[in-house]
Amino acid sequence: MDVRIYLLDLKNLRQQELLDEFLAAAPLRVDEERRRKAEKIRNPRGRAVSLGAGLLLQRAVADFEGGDLGVHDFGSMPPTALSEELCAPEIFQLSVRELMDRVKEPIGLGYRYGELGKPYFKNVPLYFNLSHSGDFVLCTVSKQEIGADIQKIGKSEVMRTAERFFAEGELVALQTCRSAKERTELFYRLWSKKEAYGKLTGKGIAEAISENMQCKTEVEWLTFEVPEGYAAAVCQKKFAISQKRGYREGKI
């Protein structure tokens, strides 16, 4: 395994009955920290998103149990980054029902946090990244550092934002689009890449927003089918280098 991508479709939770059923059952199937986080979210939809992310993490870790990966205590260090070649990602698109049918009992996951707040598993030798927008939650897991983001494509004028923040090469690409629809879709693809890259480095989008994502030769962008009306990006460094990082305890 190099990368696995899990995409949860929450559209069915627009039905109040199904949302209530999910909010009652899901907290019993996620780890304690994710459950505590979800309990603090008053908005039912936001709470469902948080629980959905927790269920995807449960599914991702469970998929590797029984192989060469188990749940152990790895102390204060994250998994070691590998320098092996990246393979095509495995993609799993799930409905809420499919995910609930698969995740029955929670695995006791623990978390540690980088100096700038990036979360890592404490007791599983995998890196992970989470993102959500609209009706979808995106979860990626890998044996190397990873960044991921999903964005629902909006209808607002995008050039004002691009002219303020984007790199010159990105502006040129946007200006040469043949239609407003094409321009908007490209804007969101670039934005999701900036978000994913910032999450890969752990420095956030503030460090990436003015950089040209079309020229990021030190990372590999992993392609996969994205739901209609959305843009998404997943990236890893082409040559990962093992390094120690500081951690602080906290909450996802």
Compute the C-alpha angle 222/10/49, nearest 5°.
85
Query: Residue 79 — pLDDT band, cuts 50, 70, 90?
Result: very low
Mean pLDDT, rounded, for 70-76? 39
Query: Residue 69 — pLDDT band, cuts 50, 70, 90?
Result: very low
Domain boundaries, the chain: 3-237
Tell me if the domain spanning 3-237 has CATH number 3.40.718.10: no
- Out of 81-95, 112-126, 127-141, pick the least confident: 81-95
Mean pLDDT, rounded, for 221-227? 92
According to the model, what pLDDT value does residue 1 have?
53
For residue 233, pLDDT over 60 is answered with yes
Query: Residue 238 — pLDDT band, cuts 50, 70, 90?
Result: confident
Task: Select from 166, 12, 224 the least CA-distant residue to 98.
Answer: 12
For residue 64, pLDDT over 70 is answered with yes
Count of other CB atoms within 10 angstroms of residue 66: 8
Secondary structure class of 22 (helix, strand, coil): helix
Q: What is the pTM of this model?
A: 0.86
Which secondary-structure segment (H or E) carries 159?
Answer: helix 159-165
Secondary structure class of 95 (helix, strand, coil): strand
- Structural contact between residues 12 and 98, judged by C-beta atoms closer than 8 angstroms: no
Round the average pLDDT of the chain to a whole number and report it: 86
**Phi and psi at residue 196, in whole multiples of 5°?**
-65, -40
Residue 16: both structure tokens together: 């109040």
The strand pairing partners of 5, in sequence order, are: 91, 140
Which secondary-structure segment (H or E) carries 3?
Answer: strand 3-9
- Tell me whether strands 230-237 and 219-221 are parallel, antiparallel or unpaired: antiparallel
Mean pLDDT, rounded, for 58-73? 65
SS3 content of the chain, % helix, strand, coil (to 5): 40, 20, 40
Q: Report how far residue 208's alpha carbon sits from residue 199's, in angstroms, rounded to the nearest whole number.
A: 10
CA 92 to chain centre: 13
Per-residue model confidence as pLDDT tens digits over 152-185: 999 878 999 999 999 999 999 999 999 999 999 9
Residue 1: both structure tokens together: 């395994």
